[in-house]
Amino acid sequence: MNLIWHIFLKDVRRLQWSILFFIVLLVLPMLTAVLPYPPDGLMEGRGAIVSSVLEVLIISAVSYFLVMSIVGEDTLTNGNEFWRVRPISGLRLFAAKVLLVAALLLVLPLMVSLPWWLGHGYGLGEIGAATKSMLMARVPLVGIALVVAALSGTSGKFVGYSFVLGLGIPAFAAFVAKNPFNLQAISKDMIETRGWVLFSIFCLTMGGVLLNQFLTRRIGRSWLMLGLAAVSMVASSLYWPWEFYSYFKAKSEAEPMASLVVSVTSGKQSRPMSLVEFPLRVAYQVSGLPEPYLVTLRSVTHKIAWPDRKIAGDKKTNLYEGGLTLSERGCIQLLATEKGDSREPQTLTAQLVMPDAKTMERAIHEPAAYHAEISGKAWKPEIVSELPCHGGATSNQRGFGVEIQSVQLLSGARIQVELRQHTPEFLTKDLPLVGARSRVLPTETKLSYAIINRQRGGLLVAAQSDPEHVFSTATVRRFEQQLVFSPRTPAEAPTGDLAAWLKDAVLVTIFVREEEFFKRILETPRLIVTGLPPKQPSK
């Protein structure tokens, strides 16, 4: 261990200026994060942009090349290297390099972020989650850089190999996606399975090459491994025969129904959920349905894409009398496109048939039980929506940047949500409103935003309508007290009769899986949701 530490310190001494530069880069975003808000709240947005650019571009690039510097200090491909004829084992060198890379590129950023987290009252669980998120974002980059550096004796080769890898992966993905060998015939689960197989081959090969380079330095063997892996990946992507994804999927914990836009009814009598009054394109993706379940669309022109793609293309079908029976477990994608006069209301309904009357009864009368029941059966429904909506965002604000509680949906606008994350970064997400529910809503109708995922310690926000049966009132109320909407500039503030803007208020809800995490969000003063400029409604 002493000798590992000895090599570690030698590399630190060698790269001291690069390391210092890297630390400055890490600390810089923190400075923007702790600057006080200007009155109009602009700094928050600019800080977000600065942070994101620094984090994503500069820091990532510097991290990547720093790995090369660390490994390149004692290259593995050059027989004339100083360390090769010294009593330094490859394993010891590997340990020293990995230790330094981990300390510098993984631990150090965490240590820099830690004061920020603590300063904002994050608990251990949140710090753990944030750490995990940060590592998830950095480890792949660092891992790939380690392998490429281990194969490169010089910076030029490092850049070249990185370039080839950067082009090769998308090219490979495009090759697979282009489906030259009739990929249509396979199920979605098989696609998932093959994805995992490819991922496993990639990771194992990278690990093998890394160890081989450090322990034996037989670069020919490393290239052979890479070549075999490439062939295996191409072959697996096309011909891997054993599907195992559904097995693991069935065993996995059910995802809560973060967004569900199917109505629950019995028999073939479907009940319209809502009307659509503007051009609408909605894709439902319902996965993990047990075999006897039925999903029905009505009164829409739709495109149906089965998982195996046996049925594909546009159809204009009236499905009043029937539905699409799933012949196998898996997902069904229903893409409905409104045609005709968009001013006319269109009905979009999905119907779910429960396996027995008792379950159905519970589903209808006990939404909570319905949710639980479906979750227990590994339902994973989610909306993938892309809706040009005639909505807009304004508020009953009491001033710029102050807390408001509702927004009004107007034509031609969208809501943008910016959420402060655990890390001193921002996640900026443009959220198109959910078309199925985002017509000009009656006053009492509520629109919710469900947090369905966390990215890099932050929140990915998706929209969902009518969450009354899913989320408790208490949750909504608490959220209302915390959420902040603000126009970006004073000029974008609503003018005229404010009351006219507020006739159709919509409630916004944020929902997360873990209650503790949710509480923390509520207590986080940095959490903001920014509405885009409200516009005058068209007459």
Partner 1 sequence: MNIIETQNLTRRFRRTEAVHDLTFSVPEGSVCALLGPNGAGKSTSLRLLMNLLVPTSGSATVLGVDSTRLGERQFAQIGYVAEGQQQPLWMTVRQLLDYCRPFYPTWDGQLEKRLLKQFDLPEDRKLKNLSRGMLMKAALLSSLAYRPKLLVLDEPFSGLDPLVRDEFVGGILETSSLGEWSVVISSHDIDEVERLADHVAVLDRGRLQLSESAESLQARFRRVEVTLDGSMANLTHLPRTWLLAEQNGGLVRFVDTQFNAAATEQACRERFPEAAVVAHPMTLREIFVTLAKAGRSEAKKEAA
Cα–Cα distance for residue pair 133/425, rounded to 1 Å: 12
Q: Which is nearer to partner 1, 154 or 472 (CB)?
A: 154
Q: Which is nearer to partner 1, 88 or 127 (CB)?
A: 88
Taking alpha carbons only, the member of 1, 2, 54 closest to residue 26 is 54
**CB 390, CB 411: distance < 8 Å:** yes
Q: Which is nearer to partner 1, 87 or 156 (CB)?
A: 87
Max distance between CA atoms of the chain, in angstroms, equals 83
Least separation in angstroms between CB 69 and partner 1: 12
Least separation in angstroms between CB 2 and partner 1: 7
Taking alpha carbons only, the member of 528, 532, 529 closest to residue 494 is 532
Q: Indicate the SS3 state at residue 37.
A: coil
Taking alpha carbons only, the member of 433, 434, 395, 402 closest to residue 416 is 433
Q: Which is nearer to partner 1, 5 or 163 (CB)?
A: 5
Q: Which is nearer to partner 1, 2 or 443 (CB)?
A: 2
Residue carrying structure tokens 């394109």: 281
Pairing label, strands 300-305, 314-317: antiparallel
Give the Cα-Cα-Cα angle 270, 276, 282 (nearest 5 degrees).
80
Least separation in angstroms between CB 153 and partner 1: 11
Residue carrying structure tokens 């979750």: 375
The residues binding partner 1 (CB under 8 A) are: 2-3, 6, 10, 13-14, 78-82, 84-89, 92, 218
Q: Which is nearer to partner 1, 89 or 416 (CB)?
A: 89
Q: Which is nearer to partner 1, 13 or 398 (CB)?
A: 13
Q: Which is nearer to partner 1, 85 or 174 (CB)?
A: 85
Least separation in angstroms between CB 218 and partner 1: 7
Least separation in angstroms between CB 154 and partner 1: 12
Taking alpha carbons only, the member of 293, 531, 524 closest to residue 396 is 531
Cβ-based burial of 385 (10 A; exposed 0-12, middle 13-18, buried ≥19): buried
Least separation in angstroms between CB 513 and partner 1: 51
**CB 54, CB 538: distance < 8 Å:** no
Least separation in angstroms between CB 14 and partner 1: 6
**CB 143, CB 209: distance < 8 Å:** no
Cα–Cα distance for residue pair 425/458, rounded to 1 Å: 9
Non-local CB neighbours of 373 within 8 Å, separated by 6+ positions: 359, 362, 363
Q: Indicate the SS3 state at residue 418.
A: strand
Q: Which is nearer to partner 1, 79 or 340 (CB)?
A: 79
**Which H or E run includes 226?**
helix 219-239
Please spell the DSSP secondary structure of 77-96, one letter per residue. Answer: S-TT-GGGGTT--HHHHHHH
Q: Which is nearer to partner 1, 85 or 491 (CB)?
A: 85
Least separation in angstroms between CB 155 and partner 1: 15
Least separation in angstroms between CB 89 and partner 1: 5
Cβ-based burial of 179 (10 A; exposed 0-12, middle 13-18, buried ≥19): middle
Q: Which is nearer to partner 1, 23 or 219 (CB)?
A: 219
Cα-based distances in Å from 433 to 205, 405, 410, 412: 43, 17, 11, 11
Least separation in angstroms between CB 96 and partner 1: 12
Q: Indicate the SS3 state at residue 384.
A: strand
Least separation in angstroms between CB 285 and partner 1: 54
